[in-house]
Structure 1
Amino acid sequence: MEAKEKVYLAGGMESDWHEKLKQRFHNKFLFYNPKDHQLDASEQYTLWDLHHIKKSDIVFAYLEKDNPSGYGLTLEVGYAKALNKTIILVDEKSDTNNEFKARFAIVKNSASAVFDNLEEGIKFLERFSIYVG
């Protein structure tokens, strides 16, 4: 039996998308979920985030259409790219804001695979679990 792939969950903290992934793949992946660390100081949660991106095999980055900025996700994707991690990006925001779309293109170009809705991204992530016992 192979070890589970480690997946860092980058993206919005307001909705329950993290839980949706964890429930769907409860025994297929080991998840690093920043929503769970409960740190409030930016220097602490940034350290936690970057540490766990480094430990991850895959970064699953979900930019919801109502995410107010995407700044944190941008840092996480850039750091993952520098570490040569597999990056699955779901971008629902670019189609709703042309100015954002133009500026966010550099992040999209850094991703390994890009999808425009969460379900497509989840289906692609599933392909990484097929050899896990």
Structure 2
Amino acid sequence: MTEEVKQAEVAEVKATKVKGKKGKRVVTSGQVHIKATFNNTIISVSDKKGQVLSQSSAGANGFRGSKKGTAYAAQIAAEKAGEIAKKDHGLSSVDVYVKGIGLGRDSAIRAFSGLGIKIDSITDQTPIAHGGVRPKGERKP
């Protein structure tokens, strides 16, 4: 009996001395980057420096094929990324940066406000084509 008790005590001591991960960072304000294409929507939540806290996409949430490009899929992806950032890191306010012309632009932003995360600003970073540089002159004979 005494040997079993000693072994149990040794097991408890070993269990308490096991080193775990570092504590989660507490970030109250951050950034949300939404890339909305016709085929998918990718959402990254980061701190002000740009270090990613959580990320999600329509494809990572089980949507396949043409369903990945829908507004509903973007909403689910935004909810998942926002919940992780809010629960693990204490995120309360964000600046939103949107890139792309997909269907998930608005629904992803609405999903963040629905989680109770305050949206400070919304910036559109969609690249706009301007026709390129002036072509080189025609070759002379």
| Normalised-by-shorter TM-score class | 0.3 to 0.5
Structure with greater contact order relative to length (CA < 8 Å, sep ≥ 6): 1
**Which structure is higher in helix share?**
1
**Which structure is higher in strand share?**
2
TM-score after normalising by structure 2: 0.36
TM-score after normalising by structure 1: 0.38
